Amino acid sequence: MSVSSSAGSGASTGLSAALTWLFAVTCGAVVANIYYVQPLLADIAASFHVGVARAGILVTVTQVGYALGLLLVVPLGDTHDRKRLILTLLGLCIVMLVAAALSPSFMTFAAASLGMGVLSCAAQVAVPFAASLAPDSSRGRTVGTVMSGLILGILLARTIAGEIAHYAGWRAVYLTAAAVMVVLGALLVRALPADPARPSIPYGRLMASVLHLARTDAVLRWRSLMGALGFAGFSVLWTGITFVLSDAPYHFDEATIGLFGLAGLAGALAASRAGRLADKGHAHLATGLFAAAILVSWGLMGLTSVLPMTVSLVALTAGILLLDIGVQGLQITNQSIIYSSNHGARGRVTTVYLTTYFVGGASGSAVASLAWELGGWPAVSATGGAIGLALLACWLISHSRRQDV
């Protein structure tokens, strides 16, 4: 893997277990800000006297903000003091959270949501910062632990928001989140080490170097493509499963469908283990195993349309569990590999990888909706299986070209 950086590398200084977990909690709490809105849409719509369909755009607005942060802010971590950058982003995020809580109108809330999304990219500044502090021998394990926190933040955000809103209203969700950011900021001020000075690069050149990395780093391209395919399969599932579980023979309500997301906890466990495999030099094997898990999961879930209802639920749950382990394990393996050599360009590497990753997810959602319209759940399952096969093909081709690690 090529080292494409003029920003300097900075030696790893070691990372305590306590600081690793603080990074994990920070990433989880920060990324949760993006997902709080999802179970609150009906309450927010009622509060601002708008339709639920219009309120639904808030989910997109927040995600667009996050994507902008990944693209335009995260690369700054390669040339700026990451401690200061993270704390600045957290401070501004507190302002946006309070603004959201006190919003007098729907448009004000939407603007605060956009800003909140942009600033929540602090989580993706923190991940490569943690990777840079870890020694080579445990970098994968560190990335896995930090990403476990991020995954748990995504999974628990909706539940936490729903519970707080139930007892204290939706505005209390954002005030509570702001308070959490204040506490984390106070801890990070004391706990984060000073970030070594690196040569400054003009912003235009910095962004141009992102494109240069994407063009010249074959391992980054392959790992980004595999990550995008994994997330596409994940999005196919969570778009299509809503249709199938709300239809005959299940007729489940939204709350029951949401419980299937708890299988995602297995993904957090996989994340913590995948990095250790990469540390031991088994990244290629781990990638193949996780890709195979994704393919097999779609085989299991595809059988649900021909099995009795009780058995089909078991197969569906097992498939979800296996898919989540495969997707999250693959992501940690990918990130462990791309961070292992690009020491001075980890922010830009993160931008390339996650931008590609989210494009894969958006494509998966769109394809899943089309597949459902054309052929129901069998077509959705076939689409997921095809993505799994493409992922395995990428794994084999990249290894044959010696461009996978």
pLDDT of amino acid 271: 64
Q: Tell me which CATH homologous superfamily contains domain 17-200.
A: MFS general substrate transporter like domains (1.20.1250.20)
pLDDT of amino acid 9: 42
Q: What's the rounded Cα separation, in Å, for the pair 272 and 398?
A: 25
pLDDT of amino acid 4: 40
Q: What's the rounded Cα separation, in Å, for the pair 262 and 151?
A: 12
Q: Span 196-211, mean pLDDT?
A: 88
pLDDT band at 14 (very low <50, low <70, confident <90, very high): low
Q: Span 362-374, mean pLDDT?
A: 86
Q: What's the rounded Cα separation, in Å, for the pair 47 and 169?
A: 10
262 or 179: which leads in pLDDT: 179
Q: What's the rounded Cα separation, in Å, for the pair 368 and 233?
A: 9
Whether 385 and 296 have beta carbons less than 8 Å apart is answered as no
**Any idea where the domains of the chain sit in the sequence?**
17-200, 208-400
Q: Tell me which CATH homologous superfamily contains domain 208-400.
A: MFS general substrate transporter like domains (1.20.1250.20)
pLDDT band at 11 (very low <50, low <70, confident <90, very high): very low
Question: Hey, do 17-200 and 208-400 end up sharing a CATH topology, with the first three levels equal?
Answer: yes
pLDDT higher than 70, residue 158: yes
Cβ neighbours of residue 105 under 8 Å, at least 6 residues apart?
48
pLDDT of amino acid 5: 40
Q: Span 1-11, mean pLDDT?
A: 41
pLDDT higher than 70, residue 59: yes
pLDDT of amino acid 404: 66
pLDDT of amino acid 19: 96
Q: What's the rounded Cα separation, in Å, for the pair 379 and 14?
A: 49
pLDDT of amino acid 255: 64
**Which is nearest to 134 in space by CA: 23, 297, 12?**
12
pLDDT of amino acid 307: 84
pLDDT band at 258 (very low <50, low <70, confident <90, very high): low
Q: What's the rounded Cα separation, in Å, for the pair 16 and 14?
A: 7
Q: What is the mean pLDDT of the chain?
A: 88
Q: Which two tokens stand for residue 138?
A: 């445990």
